[in-house]
Amino acid sequence: MKHAFVCGIVFLLTSFCPEHHLHQAKNIISSFHQPPLRHDYPIHPVPFADVRLTDHFWKPRIDRMYTVTLPHELDELRITGRDRNFQLAALALETHVDTAHFCTEYPFDDTDLYKVIEGISYALMLHPDPLLKKRMDSLIDLIAAAQEPDGYLYTARTINPLHPHPWSGLQRWEKEEDLSHELYNSGHLFQAAAANYIATGDKKLLDVAVKNANLLCNTFGWGKLEKYPGHPEVELGLVSLYRVTGDVRYLQLAKFFLDVRGPGGSTYEQAQQKVVDQRKAVGHAVRAGYLYSAMADVSAFTGDTAYVHADRYIWNDIVSTQLYVTGGVGATSNGEAFGQPYELPNLTAYNETCASIANVYFNERMFLTTGNAAYYDVLERTLYNALLSGLSLHGDEFFYPNPLASMGQYARSPWFGCSCCPTNLARFIPVVSGYFYATSGNQIYVNLYGANQAAIHLPKQIVHLNEQTDYPWSGTIRIDIQPEQTGAFTLKLRIPGWARNKPIPSDLYRFVNTSSAPYTIQLNGQTIHPDLENGYAVITRTWKKGDQIVLHFPMDVRVIEANLQVKADVGRIALQRGPLVYCLEWPDNADHHVLNLIVDPHQHFTTLFKPDLLDGVQVIQGQALSARRTLEGKIQTMPVHFTAIPYYAWANRGPGEMTVWMAASEKSVQPLPAPTLAYASTIRASRPSRSLIALHDQQLPDSSNDHSVMYFHWWPEKDTTVWVEYDFKQPATISSSGVYWYDDHFTGGGCSVPDSWQLLYQKDGQWIPVENITSYTTDKDRMNVVKFKPVYTSALRMMIRLNKNYSTGIYEWEVK
């Protein structure tokens, strides 16, 4: 089950209103008689439209959102029938004929329209585009027509209420705590409506949202329907509506949805305890990230600190035991979830793009609560690496999972059956500039770096900042300060943890090599040494026009080691330069292989900017040993050069090998396989997959549920017969074969060892069973070897009978 969301407009009025829309926004909000908020975050982001990026890193990506990504996603909404669902729902309401069927896969597919509308709304605030607005308005018309008279809006039921989507149940909200996603859909609607209203002043979608929210207020609550949403999201949407309308019922309902969750519920849905009692990050990583973000919002806007108190424990658990070096979260595909502490496999890492977005939102909220730069250290790491990996350089292909190693089984896609990640990116990237600065009273926080021009509103004046830098390629940053009038205020410059020899605020990772030089700060040409508070260099003075700050962060190549409890990374290193984590990828290295390279962590690395490579990147170069296994089981090595690229840029040149964590010795390297009969064969199966290469990679797992080693599976198929086949490069005589099964059903997965299996060899175009001498076994945690009378053949096929209740998978298939 795949679903996720982005939190949208929690800070819409204070953070996302462009200055030229502010007067209009205030007039709009006044129509709701909005009272002053009793509580709010103590720190406020500077609105994204008040920060105009002029750099060569983020600005081109934002521009491609308008020119490529959003038009592409609008086309996909039509091609895949997501807009058709709203047409069918409207038709059912008009004609009272309910014989049609929901025409896409998931009941939350409605949200893809909402998220694209939200993204377009942001785009229009900066780049008016009549054609884009016309296409958006046509979607809004469809949505309004599909709403039921009492405000209910959920096409998976409205199209045919007697035969709704199987996840939905026969009654409204019957399966809300499990699969239906009715409230999840509402949350996305609320966020889109708030963004659209502020951007355009048009109330059509907002009226739809308010009508739906009022239905929820009348339905849910103490003494009413006491249910929590299986997928947290509506809480954030309700806060968005509260900020827009001032209707406190929406904030109260968001709080109710938090308070009614747990105890005794599913860990997958973070309902195992009351939210204020939770201390560990568990379950579905996207659900978790947005639940924790909602807890921070409700804490800020109600003044109840119990929620954010729990958040602090949860955040510490994530950064201490659950965070990838790229900033990704959600280690396992089994439930798209957090794994056990220090369970951070690379080849099978899930790291859903939406989970990275959730991690950014969670960390931003923790910063807004505390003013501690540690949260932005994590945010920056996630933003530049795990999150950005989800979007192709051209802007029209995406990743759902973002692994840290690949044998060629991963490739970007223009769309998915569950396309939460593409539509979430379309909402997130346009507002990246809103993360650069924040204010609290007379203080300006400089959180991220990149060339930009910003207008920052302080209580008594506007301060204009002009930042010039080639960050993240260069560590030199010049900030020209132009206050409207001479006056005192405080500038807080974030000094990234990586510039202070600390990659993240825990002992999960460490730099092997310390920086050769400290960071420096100059004020009007003079070196200064301001106090460092909570990760910020604090400069309080009377500022005048023409003042200038120059920061310099050393951009050495840093070698990273993981905590020894991270078994997947023992004996391995990663490379980082500035905020960017690097990887080895096949096109840049010898023989198009990288998993077999051994990199000495103590060598001198060189860097080179290549303007024509991957839209312009700084590469890291050095020496390595290329390892290959012989038929005798030994490892041979030979010296080679290596080139590493920023991780975010991988898989833009086709599928192939990639790794973030590089072997530092023969003990941890994955040598090129020996030229065995199986390795030289072509693999086919009843289910085509790039993961079939796992069958002959000569990498055995520690157990049948080892997620650090690649495997192939048939999930969700079960209770059927499947097959896999080796087509030999040339005919050979064989007499034994072994298979190592993948089995995760004891930990809640969908695969088990099969009921039975059988080998057939090809003779005269026919498949003939081998005459086995030993029995076919289906044991876990070992190689199951069967011996048979020798046969001379050009192909071998394995027929597998799947269990009635489970699918199965294979780590390795040997033939001798």
- Domain count within the chain: 4
Cα dihedral 353, 359, 362, 365 in deg (nearest 10): -90
pLDDT tens column, 96-140: 888 889 999 999 999 999 999 999 999 998 888 999 999 999 999
Q: For the chain, give me the number of helices (H) and strands (E)? A: 17, 31
Is the pLDDT assigned to residue 275 strictly greater than 80?
Answer: yes
What is the residue range of 582's domain?
Answer: 558-663
Closest CA to 368 of 416, 281, 295, 296: 296
- 506 in a structural domain: no
Boundary-marking domain end, from 635, 663, 691: 663
389 and 489 co-located in one domain: no
Q: Are 317 and 377 in contact (CB under 8 A)?
A: no
DSSP 143-201: HHHTS-TTS---HHHHT-TTS--TTT-SSTTTTTTTT--HHHHHHHHHHHHHHHHHHH-
Closest CA to 805 of 739, 720, 741: 720
**Domain containing 334 — which CATH number?**
1.50.10
Q: What mean pLDDT do residues 370-381 have?
A: 98
Is the pLDDT assigned to residue 668 strictly greater than 50?
Answer: yes
- 795 in a structural domain: yes
pLDDT for 37 equals: 62
Distance CA 183, CA 194 (A): 17
Distance CA 438, CA 768 (A): 71
Q: What mean pLDDT do residues 332-361 have?
A: 95
pLDDT tens column, 725-756: 999 999 999 999 999 999 998 888 899 999 99
- 634 in a structural domain: yes
Residue 669 DSSP one-character state: -
Mean pLDDT of the chain: 93
pLDDT for 378 equals: 98
DSSP 589-618: SGGG--TTEEE-TTSPPEEEEETTSTTSEE
Distance CA 217, CA 277 (A): 26
- 154 in a structural domain: yes
413 and 454 co-located in one domain: no
pLDDT for 747 equals: 83
Q: Are 732 and 442 in contact (CB under 8 A)?
A: no
- 672 in a structural domain: no
585 and 643 co-located in one domain: yes
pLDDT for 36 equals: 56
Q: Are 273 and 332 in contact (CB under 8 A)?
A: no
Confidence class of residue 7 from pLDDT cuts 50, 70 and 90?
very low
pLDDT for 517 equals: 84
Distance CA 388, CA 404 (A): 14
Closest CA to 318 of 332, 328, 308, 309: 328
727 and 582 co-located in one domain: no
Of the chain, the percentage scoring pLDDT greater than 90 comes to 90
In the numeric block, the tokens 């009793």 are attached to 38
Is the pLDDT assigned to residue 5 strictly greater than 90?
Answer: no
Q: Are 305 and 299 in contact (CB under 8 A)?
A: yes
Distance CA 271, CA 306 (A): 17
- 4 in a structural domain: no
430 and 467 co-located in one domain: no
593 and 715 co-located in one domain: no
**Domain containing 741 — which CATH number?**
2.60.120.260
Q: Are 281 and 288 in contact (CB under 8 A)?
A: yes
Q: What mean pLDDT do residues 163-175 have?
A: 94
pLDDT for 258 equals: 98
430 and 447 co-located in one domain: no
Is the pLDDT assigned to residue 28 strictly greater than 60?
Answer: no
Boundary-marking domain end, from 504, 532, 552: 552
- 784 in a structural domain: yes
Confidence class of residue 339 from pLDDT cuts 50, 70 and 90?
very high
226 and 265 co-located in one domain: yes
Boundary-marking domain end, from 532, 552, 572: 552
396 and 450 co-located in one domain: no
241 and 124 co-located in one domain: yes
- 721 in a structural domain: yes
pLDDT for 708 equals: 80
124 and 259 co-located in one domain: yes
Q: Are 176 and 231 in contact (CB under 8 A)?
A: no
350 and 414 co-located in one domain: yes
